[in-house]
Chain A
Amino acid sequence: DAKTTQPPSMDCAEGRAANLPCNHSTISGNEYVYWYRQIHSQGPQYIIHGLKNNETNEMASLIITEDRKSSTLILPHATLRDTAVYYCHVRTTDSWGKFQFGAGTQVVVTP
C-alpha cells in the first residue's frame, strides 16, 4: 500500500469549512483513498473513500486530484464535535493486503 503524508495539526473555526490535505504520490492505479477520524478515547470511524472521482456523503466531501497523487477531505461546516485526529489511508482491493495508517492530522475546531 502507498504511504501517505499529512500535516500534523490544523485549527478550524466553528462553522467554517475545514480542508484536510493528504499526499499519496506513490499511489497505484488500483488503490483507493480512505479517510477515517478518531475522536478522543474512541475507535477510528470511517468517513469516506474514493478511487478517482470526487465523492460526497453526509459527513464530508473528498476531492482527488487528476493525477491521484493527493487528495483533500472537506468538512463543509465544522462543529466542535469534529475535533479529532483525521487519518488518510490508501490501500488495494486485495482483501488481505497490509493496512497501515500514518500519524494523521489533529484537527481542533474552535468556537
Chain B
Amino acid sequence: DVKVTQSSRYLVKRTGEKVFLECVQDMDHENMFWYRQDPGLGLRLIYFSYDVKMKEKGDIPEGYSVSREKKERFSLILESASTNQTSMYLCASSFPTSGRSYIQYFGAGTRLSVL
C-alpha cells in the first residue's frame, strides 16, 4: 500500500515562530501537494511539486513556502506563523496511472494551532 506520512498529527506554535511541516511518501511519486482544510471551505491547494526542486503555487500560497530536496520528501514552511494559519494541513502524492489519470494519496494530516 502507498504510504504518505506526515511528521506530526498535532502541533501548537506561537505567533511569529518558523514552522516546518514534513511529509514523506514511499512510492517514488513524482507529484506532491500541500493543502489546508478549514470548516466550510473544503480542501485548498497551497503548493505542489512535480519534481525535485520544482514547485508551483496553488491557490493560497501567501505566507507559505515549500522545499523538495529529495523525491520522497516535501516540506511546508510557515516563515512567521500567524493565527489565521491555524488549520488542518494535508500532504498528498501522486504518479500517473494507466489511462493517463492521476490518483492522489493523502497523509493523515497535521492539525496546527497558532497561539
Chain A residues at the B interface, C-beta cutoff of 8 Å: 32, 34, 36, 41-46, 49, 51, 87, 91, 93, 95-96, 98-104
* Chain B positions 48 through 76: 1 when the CB is less than 8 Å from some CB of chain A, otherwise 0: 10100000101100000000000000000
Closest Cβ neighbor of A30 among chain B residues: B100
Identify 19 residue pairs between A and B in the complex whose beta-carbon atoms are under 8 Å apart, listed by A's number. Answer: A42-B109, A43-B109, A44-B43, A44-B90, A44-B92, A44-B104, A46-B104, A51-B101, A93-B100, A93-B101, A95-B102, A96-B31, A96-B48, A99-B58, A100-B44, A101-B35, A102-B42, A103-B40, A103-B41
Total interface residues on B, using CB and 8 Å? 30
B96: interface (CB < 8 Å): yes
Chain B residues at the A interface, C-beta cutoff of 8 Å: 4, 30-31, 33, 35, 40-45, 48, 50, 56, 58-59, 90, 92, 96, 99-109
Asked if A99 contacts B104 (CB within 8 A), the reply is yes
**In the complex, what residues of A have CB within 8 A of residue B44's CB?**
100-101
**In the complex, what residues of A have CB within 8 A of residue B99's CB?**
51
Q: How many A-B residue pairs have CB under 8 A?
A: 62
Closest Cβ neighbor of B2 among chain A residues: A46
- Name the 4 nearest CB pairs between A and B, nearest first: A43-B106, A101-B43, A93-B100, A103-B42
Asked if B33 contacts A99 (CB within 8 A), the reply is yes
A sample of 4 more A-B contacts (CB under 8 A), given A42-B108, A43-B107, A95-B31, is: A41-B109, A43-B92, A95-B50, A103-B41
**In the complex, what residues of B have CB within 8 A of residue A96's CB?**
31, 48, 50, 56
8 Å CB contact of B105 from A32, A46, A49: A46
Q: What separation, in Å, do the CA atoms of A101 and B33 have in the docked complex?
A: 13
Q: What separation, in Å, do the CA atoms of A46 and B2 have in the docked complex?
A: 12
Q: What separation, in Å, do the CA atoms of A91 and B104 have in the docked complex?
A: 12
**In the complex, what residues of B have CB within 8 A of residue A42's CB?**
108-109
Asked if A43 contacts B103 (CB within 8 A), the reply is no
**In the complex, what residues of B have CB within 8 A of residue A99's CB?**
33, 45, 48, 58, 104
Asked if B42 contacts A43 (CB within 8 A), the reply is no
